[in-house]
Amino acid sequence: MIDGAGTSPTGPMNGTDAGEPRGLLVLICTYNERHTLPVLVEQILRLLPEAHILVVDDGSPDGTGEWAAGRQQADPRLRALVRPGKRGLGTAIREGMRHAIQHRYAWLVNLDGDLSHDPQAIAQMTVLQAECDIAIGSRYVAGGALRNCSWRRVVISRSANTLARAIVGGEIQDCSSAFRMYRVAMLEGIALDGIQATGYGFLEEVLALILREGGRVIETPITYTEREHGTSKLSLRKAWSTLSALIRIGRIVRGSGRRHLAP
């Protein structure tokens, strides 16, 4: 579906489904990822041929959304939602979560569209489905790593995670990782529309809500590789936005206690 175009694709991803939940939906939120998205989509479909992919693009001027819209015509496993203008990572992820709920998927995996996340790690997450409600691809547990990252990114990321861990996670080492697998039934139980953060703070806010509902969290190690094409989307302004979200999240956590790391 292209937002505002008045058309939607035919095929198995169209409409609201009844009956048993589907399997896995992979969500890729994009802005100016034209060089990397085709490579990532091919990797995912080769590794997970039964999975479906949803691309949510914020009107990328480099043609990312147009590529995704064209690809969906050739492959019913992919669907594109192209939104006019930049609305923020958090709102894009929320669109993907709504789609997963509406179309009755069992699991939703979110990862970046710039090849900083290796899709092969999805297999590590899927084997944990019986043990968790959210699996986090973690840079900061044993076996996790950051590769080719500038000192500025490392400082911002580690500082934000130290604060987020104190407020949100307790024992969770990587509260801000965008590489995650969610049990869709758990997402149905939280108020997605009530999440105020529109940027990276969305990640911590939705995690806090899942923990408040007793969701089980597992971290699995990943290597995050700094993007080779384009420029990093992490900035001090976005870090400040995340800090504002964490202040709100503190009120959620104080009313619920910290729980539940899966054993």
pLDDT at residue number 14: 46
pLDDT-derived band at 60 (thresholds 50, 70, 90) equals very high
Ranges of H-type helices in 82-213: 89-102, 122-126, 151-164, 184-188, 201-212
pLDDT at residue number 17: 53
The topology (CATH level 3) of 22-254 is Spore Coat Polysaccharide Biosynthesis Protein SpsA; Chain A (3.90.550)
Phi, psi at 137, each rounded to 5°:
-75, 105
The residue ranking higher by pLDDT, 192 or 164, is 192
Nearest to 223 by CA among 152, 125, 115, 146: 146
| Residue 72, helix vs strand vs coil | helix
Whether the CB-CB separation of 47 and 143 falls below 8 Å is answered with no
Determine the average pLDDT of the residues in 156-173.
Answer: 77
Max mean pLDDT among 117-131, 139-153, 190-204 falls in 117-131
How far is residue 219's CA from residue 262's CA, in Å, rounded to a whole number?
9
How is residue 108 written in tokens? 């939703």
How is residue 156 written in tokens? 């911002």
How is residue 25 written in tokens? 């939906």
For the chain, give the longest Cα–Cα distance: 49
pLDDT at residue number 118: 96
Domain locations along the chain: 22-254
Q: Residue 46 pLDDT > 90, yes or no?
A: yes
Residues near 132 by beta carbon (within 8 Å), at least 6 away in sequence: 183, 216, 217, 218, 262
Max mean pLDDT among 13-27, 147-161, 248-262 falls in 147-161
User: What phi-psi label fits residue 147: left (phi over 0), alpha (psi between -120 and 50 degrees) or beta?
Assistant: beta
How far is residue 81's CA from residue 7's CA, in Å, rounded to a whole number?
11
Determine the average pLDDT of the residues in 125-142.
Answer: 96
pTM recorded for the entire structure: 0.85
pLDDT at residue number 198: 85
Determine the average pLDDT of the residues in 43-67.
Answer: 97
In DSSP terms, 2 is beta-bridged to 82
